[in-house]
Amino acid sequence: MLFGQLIENESSYTLYFERNFYQSKEAVFNALTDPVIFSKWYPFATGEMDGQVGELIKFDDGEGNLYQGVITKFSLEDGFEFIEDGRDVIRMEISETESGARLHFNHTFSGLAWVVQTTTGWHNCLNVFVQIMNGQPPQWPLPDELVELTQAYETQFKEVKFKEEK
Q: So what's the pLDDT on residue 163? A: 55
The pLDDT assigned to 2 comes to: 83
Q: What is the 3-state secondary structure (H, E, C) of 48-91?
A: EECCCCCCEEEEECCCCCEEEEEEEEEECCCEEEEEECCCEEEE
**Intervals of the chain under pLDDT 70:** 1, 161-166
pLDDT score, position 166? 45
Model's pTM, two decimal places?
0.92
Instruction: Give φ, ψ of 74 to 5 degrees.
Output: -160, 75
**Which pLDDT value is given to residue 132?**
97
What pLDDT is recorded for position 164? 54
